[in-house]
Amino acid sequence: MRANVVVVGAGAAGCVIAARLSQRSDRTVVLLEAGPDDVRRWPDLTATRTSQQALTQYARGFGVGGSAALNGMVANVGEHDDYDEWERVYGCAGWSWRDVRPWFRRVALPLRRPRRRELGPLSAAVLASVSGAERVRLTQAADGRRASVDEVYLKPARERSNLQVRPNALVDRVLFDGRRAVGVLLADGETIEAATVVVCAGALHTPAILLRSGVDRDAVGHGLHDHPSLSVAMRSSNAAEASLAVSVVVWATHVARHDIQLMPFESSQGSSLMAAAMRVHSRGHVRLAASESVTNPLVDFNMLSDERDLDLLRAAARQAAAIATSAEIPLSDEALRAAVGEYVHAAGSCRMGAATDSLAVVDERCRVIAYQSLVVCDASVMPNLPRANPCLPTVMIAERVSAWMDAELRVG
């Protein structure tokens, strides 16, 4: 089988890339997804958070739509200087706030703030009593239903004869002719030839695919990070009847503006308050556990290894304790390292940077450095997580990369 473009991974970025590039009827696009056509959690995917914690499950989306079909639907962009730092500190030319702002406007997802009467009891209480609390924008349709990237971008595109969406298609590796990508090899032995390969398998599986493929950038798999968080159980006499609902966000400032996020979660199973450190300095890694694609990679976030993250999470925990007055939250270094969890915001494991940067995997247009016809597009390219839930920034990145690729493929 041969295509103009093969996209590996049908998560937030992959759905956007496949939908945008298939708008040209004379271009064949194949979208490959390891999971089924519906979304569930990735089986047997585990990660280490800190050295004081045991290896435990990491909740990633598995199937068409990816994690964007399971998340809390929160839609924020972060602070303007997050993107200015991408350019100034990490050498990602053209990724300042001035550059990315028009691309956030291009994102097709509907964004909606829930009405006050739609809030659960915990969210309503936080909104009424906590200074700075606000109703957060959600990726929701006007009727309140989830508006996933799959629904908005990919579902309409599936009618195109030049787009083939293939679930249950686990990619083993990228195939090369010299240093030019020429297709992919599936785990079942099938080969798909392509003029361009785009890897959108997420911050945990994208580096694993590149490592199995023999991509010789030393930085592949390094730079992994997530927003460290603590979940505080809340007492509620009237839990929300609906499934998981996120409606309110509280921003606080410790060192940098809005470097702390507090968010109530409510469901029929109970209520909790999530306290997260939104500026991350600690870095972990992704490594291969085995050469076979059916084996998930070894994932170590190395959370709170940087003292700045430890201090910030402690400050976030204190903010949460001020709201949850009945909760006892341990604040010692040891207790925080034992209790910290992730926000399921994995990023940075194939980070973007200048072509001369040995710590970068892809250049400013997300092309794998020193290779041809090979692109990476997902949260793995983020040099540092913005102070935001990363779904919307990931879609923004995919919109930009799609436009660049479309222009280059037309010329080519």
Taking only Cα atoms into account, the Rg of the chain, rounded to an integer number of angstroms, comes to 21
pLDDT tens by residue, 315-350 = 999 999 988 876 788 899 999 999 999 999 999 999
Which one has a higher pLDDT value, 232 or 107?
Answer: 107
pLDDT tens by residue, 220-235 = 999 999 999 999 888 6
Task: Report the percent of the chain where pLDDT is more than 90.
Answer: 86
CA distance 73 to 201: 20
pLDDT tens by residue, 269-288 = 788 899 999 999 999 999 99
**Closest of 396, 371, 72 to residue 381, by C-alpha:** 396
In sequence order, the β-bridge partners of residue 194 are 3
- The whole-number pLDDT of residue 50 equals 97
CA distance 205 to 45: 10
Residue 242 confidence (pLDDT) above 70: no
Q: What is the mean pLDDT of residues 289-318?
A: 95
- The whole-number pLDDT of residue 238 equals 53
Q: 216: buried, middle or exposed (CB in 10 Å: 19+, 13-18, 0-12)? A: exposed
Q: Determine phi and psi for 194, rounding to 5 degrees.
A: -155, 150
Q: 118: buried, middle or exposed (CB in 10 Å: 19+, 13-18, 0-12)? A: middle
Q: Determine phi and psi for 274, rounding to 5 degrees.
A: -95, 130
Angle CA 36–42–45, to nearest 5: 150
CA distance 18 to 263: 33
Output the CA torsion 49→51→53→54 (10° steps). 90
Helices (H) and strands (E) counted in the chain, each on its own, are: 10, 20
Length of the chain: 412
Q: What is the mean pLDDT of residues 108-115?
A: 95
Neighbours of 364 (CB within 10 A): 19
- The whole-number pLDDT of residue 239 equals 47
Q: Where, residue-wise, is CATH 3.50.50.60 in the chain?
A: 1-43+62-109+148-224+346-412
**Closest of 4, 9, 8 to residue 21, by C-alpha:** 4
Q: What is the DSSP string of 195-246?
A: EEEEE-SHHHHHHHHHHHTT---TTTTEEEB--EEEEEEE--SS--SSSSB-
The 3-class SS string of 158-193 reads CCCCCEEEECCCCEEEEEEECCEEEEEEECCCCEEE
- The whole-number pLDDT of residue 326 equals 67
- The whole-number pLDDT of residue 3 equals 98
Could you tell me the sign of the dihedral formed by the alpha carbons of 185, 371, 280, 70, in that order? Answer: negative
CA distance 290 to 201: 18
- The whole-number pLDDT of residue 76 equals 95
- Return all residues near 303 (Cβ < 8 A) that are at least 6 apart: 49, 50, 226, 228, 282, 284, 309, 337, 340, 342
Three-state DSSP at 138 gives strand
Specify the residue for token string 């201090």: 311
Residue 236 confidence (pLDDT) above 60: no
- Return all residues near 222 (Cβ < 8 A) that are at least 6 apart: 283, 285, 349, 359
CA distance 347 to 354: 18
Confidence class for position 245, pLDDT limits 50, 70, 90? low
CA distance 379 to 398: 10
Residue 240 confidence (pLDDT) above 80: no
Does domain 1-43+62-109+148-224+346-412 sit in CATH 3.50.50.60? yes
pLDDT tens by residue, 138-184 = 999 999 899 999 999 999 999 999 999 999 999 999 999 999 999 99
Q: 161: buried, middle or exposed (CB in 10 Å: 19+, 13-18, 0-12)? A: exposed
pLDDT tens by residue, 356-382 = 999 999 999 999 999 999 999 999 999
CA distance 347 to 340: 17
Give the single-character DSSP code of 128. Answer: H
